[in-house]
Amino acid sequence: MVNVGTPDRIIRIIIGIALIAWSVSAGNMWWILGAIVLATGIFRFCGLYKVLGINTCSVK
């Protein structure tokens, strides 16, 4: 099941990588959120979108 569209996916991947990079350099725990955001972009599935009934993917 896919519920994350291409523009949403690209934004998630960029933000996820940026959060992970910043967190590693700053030495804090925000990399966990970055990993979650990155994973939702890679796998094109967001559990929160599923719960809220949101679908940004045009392909069914």
Q: Which residues contact 31 (CB under 8 A, 6 or more apart)?
A: 19, 20, 23, 24
* pLDDT tens digits, one per residue of 6-55: 999 999 999 999 999 999 999 999 999 999 999 999 999 999 999 999 99
**Would you list the DSSP string of the chain?**
-----HHHHHHHHHHHHHHHHHHHHHTSSTHHHHHHHHHHHHHT--HHHHHHT----S--
pTM for this prediction: 0.90
* pLDDT tens digits, one per residue of 38-47: 999 999 999 9
Domain contains 58: no
Domain contains 24: yes
Domain contains 28: yes
Domain contains 11: yes
Domain contains 59: no
The count of structural domains within the chain is 1
- Return the number of other C-beta atoms located less than 10 Å from residue 27's C-beta: 7
Domain contains 60: no
Domain contains 39: yes
Domain contains 43: yes
Domain that holds residue 26: 6-52
- Residue 60: pLDDT over 80: no
